[in-house]
Amino acid sequence: MYPILLSKDMRPFTNNSKNISRPLFLLLAVGLSILYVQEWRSADITKSDFPVFYATGRLLRRRQNPYSFELGCAEQARIRPDLCMPYPHTSVLLPLFALVSSDDYSASYRRWSLVLVCVLAICVFVAYKLTRSIECAILMLFFLPIFISITQGNVSPFILLGVMLWAWLMIRGHDRWAGLALSLTVIKPQYSVLLGAPLLFVRAKAFFGFCVGACFFFLLGLLLVGVDGYRELIKMIFLLANGSVAGNDPAKMYSVTGLLARWGINRLWAWPIFLAAAVAITILWRRDMGLKNLLLAVILTMFATPYLYRHDLSLLALPLIFVHPLAGIGATCLLLLTEAAGWQFAGAYLLMAGLGVFYITHSAEPLVPASELIE
């Protein structure tokens, strides 16, 4: 048994179930659901992120290279002729894109939306297992970046699911399964590096599970796109790193990269900060790998990742659910108010800083009884 699992650093940081009345919970859940669904229905689905996922799915169905920028642009031009975006992610979700994509773009978007809703339903279940509070789990869904992920048809809910499952399994001592869950984040490797690599030095079994999952996804991608497909992917990543692709503006990012770009500093400095964050997470976890430090690592990852847009902030839902049932709604208000005041990015940095201070200054009680932990 891992002694660390018995530490005081593993419990929701407030007695969440008693912090909100049931009538208020129902009012917020129903009212915000109606508001969000109406906003979703009015969204222009051709200006979402889905066209690029749709294009890769259609190319894969035709057994063409889904990473070909030229072929992808030709496919996207049928939907959105004014902009062509690359697909810079690994091939983990390509089979799903192919499965939901048909000649009818609107129907394909609806099918993909259903997939994302199902993923978020699993996230709600995991959030409940983590917090033991149905209020926290459900109200998490009203955190604005999660809503943006759905309307944009983005893959961020899959990242949230992988990290939430990883946290839940880690604190219960299921290291190998936790590592497998975290391997889902190889969809966007910047997250998997910062959260996965430090496991080698603190929890070898979890790192082994992570490697097994990552290797499986690599081999699956090799079968789907071949060596040529991976070459195109690497070429696309370098193009994005140089900021020379439409739709990729470093100054619009919410991480350290955005800060550097807006301050006129060479954004390549984001990479030393990225490496320093990996070292910091390793040191943090070697001291203690309870829930508190897992959540601090997630917050640090969000700040230090070189590539982070608004929908990517949905990962902050994990540390938010332990603060208070209304924390996600409060964070949404912060993001909207700072944006309305002309400080579009300030809200995100204030949120990360506030969460960091909260977890550094607060302690917690054990999340699960010692008798439930696995040896």
Q: pLDDT tens, 310-352?
A: 999 999 999 999 999 999 999 999 999 999 998 989 999 999 9
Residue 11 in any domain: the answer is no
User: Is residue 185 domain-resident?
Assistant: yes
Q: How many domains does the chain have?
A: 1
Residue 280 has pLDDT above 60, yes or no: yes
| 14: in domain | no
- Whether residue 192 lies inside any domain: the answer is yes
The domain in which residue 163 lies consists of: 28-370
**Six-digit token string for 188:** 């966007």
Decide if 17 is inside a domain: no
Q: Could you tell me the two tokens for 203?
A: 């929890």
In this structure, is residue 23 part of a structural domain?
no
Instruction: Identify the sign of the CA torsion 240, 242, 244, 248.
Output: positive
**For residue range 117-143, what is the model confidence (pLDDT) as tens digits?**
999 999 999 999 999 999 999 999 999
Q: Is the pLDDT of residue 365 over 60?
A: no
| Residue 25 confidence (pLDDT) | 87
How far apart, in whole angstroms, are the C-alpha atoms of residue 371 and residue 169?
Answer: 16
Look at residue 242 and tell me whether its pLDDT is greater than 70: no
pTM (2 d.p.): 0.90
Report yes or no on 4 lying in a domain: no
* The pLDDT of residue 255 is above 60: yes
Separation of alpha carbons 111 and 107, rounded Å: 6
**Residue 156 pLDDT greater than 80, yes or no:** yes
Helices (DSSP H) in the chain: which residue ranges? 22-41, 50-61, 69-76, 94-100, 105-131, 134-139, 144-152, 156-171, 175-182, 189-196, 199-202, 204-241, 256-262, 270-287, 291-304, 317-320, 327-340, 346-361
Residue 158 lies in a domain: yes
